[in-house]
A and B are shown apart, each in its own frame.
Chain A
Amino acid sequence: MTAPAPAPNDLPRPGYWPWFGAFAFLFIVATQATGLVTSIPDRDMGDLQKIMYVHVPAAWIMSLTFAVVLWYSFLYLWKQRENDDLKAAAAAEVGSAFCGLTLILGMIWGRPAWGVWWAWDARLTSTLVLFLIFVGYLAMRAFVEDPHRRAQWSAAVGIMGAINVPIVYMSVRWWRTLHQVQSSPATVDSWYVFNLRANAFAFLFVMIYFIRQRYVAARYERAAELAVQAVALGRD
């Protein structure tokens, strides 16, 4: 499986992306600061409520990120384009990070709010399973050498992993859990809702920027690999 090394012109260029990255980070600093400073402590849990400004947007955007994995995994299986595999993998990396963030922030919230760091209820367990599937996805990519086979296996695991997302979402409704069911604007103070949405957009921008950066890095890695192969095979 030796595709010709792409000409440097084919590789993605920075363009306006550094500006977008700077914007995304300034935006998330602003929305987090607004949430921390301006929202009135919750009547039951005081300042602890502010953990939701990371936990909840991270969980939402994680779901979206795994939908991106699903999309590019199908696209790879359909079109067999290597770049789609690299896009799916970039999204899987970002999604795993957000999933880890969701779990850790949830635990930090749970210890004072519930009284325990962890409970094996359906929501927490299914989220952990989701996290482990995508950690497995990334580990598998590190072990499979052949890019074509790596892409096929990744697509299969990526699709199966993404199927878990709606299960995680519905788990609090399908089963009786310690984790609360989804809130809605009717059950949450409007200023908290505003802060949640602002932070969700901030996480979305960061997610887009991260996926783009990881994808570009993967493209350059592949180009370097192919260049090394070309030299080893004695081609120019």
Chain B
Amino acid sequence: MAGMSGRSRWLIAAAVVMIGAFGWLLYGGLDKNVVFFLTPKELLAKGTSGYEVPVRLGGQVKPKSVQWDSTSSDLRFVLTDGAGDVTVHAKGMPPQMFRDGMGVIVEGRYGRDNVFQSNSLMVKHSNEYHPPKPGESPQEAYKTLIKVSGA
């Protein structure tokens, strides 16, 4: 087979440059600035500029802070990163794994009443997978939450 012609060399070089530029656009600009969510500490540090702008907020559900009203589907809880606490208000049934201590990301706006109005709630799963401890059955935490808070 013949070696590469000048033209195909040029085409390969062009393809490499194009794909390289594409990759740089995608990843180069990301760096630390593009994060999927802010932590409560980072949101609170923004002060008044943090109010009423669409943002994602991520942290852990502060234990014993969950209030669930099953008749109005109102969910209130405190989201914490250890350094800052933000009260979150959400509508609708939380995902299956929502519970105390779980990582959660909410999408919405931080209101001037210092309550974060969430229109979307995601549970961030950790990288841990374990069977239930003896005596526990899987997903019991979830059922307990709904039963206790909803009763």
Query: Which residues in A have some Cβ–Cβ distance to B below 8 Å?
Result: 1, 3, 39-49, 52, 80-82, 112-116, 119-122, 126, 129, 148-149, 152-153, 156-157, 160, 163-164, 167, 175-178, 180-184, 187-189, 191-192
Give the tally of cross-chain contacts (CB within 8 A): 138
Within 8 Å of chain A (Cβ to Cβ): is B147? no
- Stretch of B29-37, B43-51, B65-73, B109-117 that contacts chain A: B29-37
Name the CB-closest residue of A to B39.
Answer: A176
Bound complex: CA A119 to CA B27 (Å): 17
B74 to chain A, nearest CB (A): 17
Within 8 Å of chain A (Cβ to Cβ): is B64? no
Name the CB-closest residue of B to A133.
Answer: B19
User: Is A80 touching B3 in the complex (CB atoms < 8 A)?
Assistant: yes
Name the CB-closest residue of A to B34.
Answer: A175
The binding surface of chain B is classed by DSSP as: loop
Query: Which residues in B have some Cβ–Cβ distance to A below 8 Å?
Result: 1-4, 8, 11-12, 15-16, 19-20, 23, 26-27, 30, 32, 34-37, 58, 94-98, 105, 120-133, 136, 138-139, 141
User: Is B35 touching A43 in the complex (CB atoms < 8 A)?
Assistant: no
Name the CB-closest residue of B to A186.
Answer: B128
Which residues of A sit under 8 angstroms from B98, Cβ to Cβ? 115
Bound complex: CA A113 to CA B123 (Å): 7
Bound complex: CA A214 to CA B144 (Å): 52
In this complex, which of B3, B19, B32 has the most chain A Cβ atoms within 10 angstroms of its Cβ?
B19
User: Is B122 touching A119 in the complex (CB atoms < 8 A)?
Assistant: yes
Name the CB-closest residue of B to A161.
Answer: B19
